[in-house]
Amino acid sequence: MHEMSIVSGVLRIAEDQARAADATIINSIELEIGELAGIELDSLNFCFEVARRKTMAQDAELVIHSIPGKGFCPHCEKDVAVGFQMGVCSECDQAILEIFQGRELRVLSINVD
Ligand SMILES: [Zn+2]
């Protein structure tokens, strides 16, 4: 399950930041995740519940901002929403070669005390 390795990575970043700020408690972690990043949010939340135990983030809130997939469709000749079916235009169902949004995985902010 690669969600677990994502969560471990995020917790490591959060704890590093907390230590750097002389904090002992992580209140919240805010993530930005693209809909095309291949990450199951249910699974990510579940992994977070498990992995945060006995870390500084054990009571932290995980806030996830979902970023919709977007690409340029050469058939429609405009920017369109890209569906969950990777790389297919939501308007004409043709393949999209250029996806410029929706694969993000970023830690937006970490709130510590
Ligand atoms: Zn199209």
Domain ranges of the chain: 2-112
The residues placing their C-beta within 5 Å of ligand 1, an ion, are 73, 75-76, 89, 91-92
CA of 71 to the centre of ligand 1 (A): 9
CA of 23 to the centre of ligand 1 (A): 49
CA of 94 to the centre of ligand 1 (A): 6
Give the model's pLDDT for residue 94.
Answer: 87
- Contact 66/35 with Cβ under 8 angstroms? yes
Is pTM, for the whole model, over 0.75?
A: yes
Give the model's pLDDT for residue 12.
Answer: 97
Percent of the chain, pLDDT > 70?
96
CA of 88 to the centre of ligand 1 (A): 8
- CATH top class, domain 2-112: alpha beta
The token duo for 39 is: 């990450």
- Contact 48/81 with Cβ under 8 angstroms? no
- The tens digit of pLDDT for each residue in 6-21 reads 999 999 999 999 999 9
CA of 66 to the centre of ligand 1 (A): 22
- The tens digit of pLDDT for each residue in 81-95 reads 987 666 789 889 888
Strand ordering across the sheet containing 105-112: 61-67, 26-34, 105-112
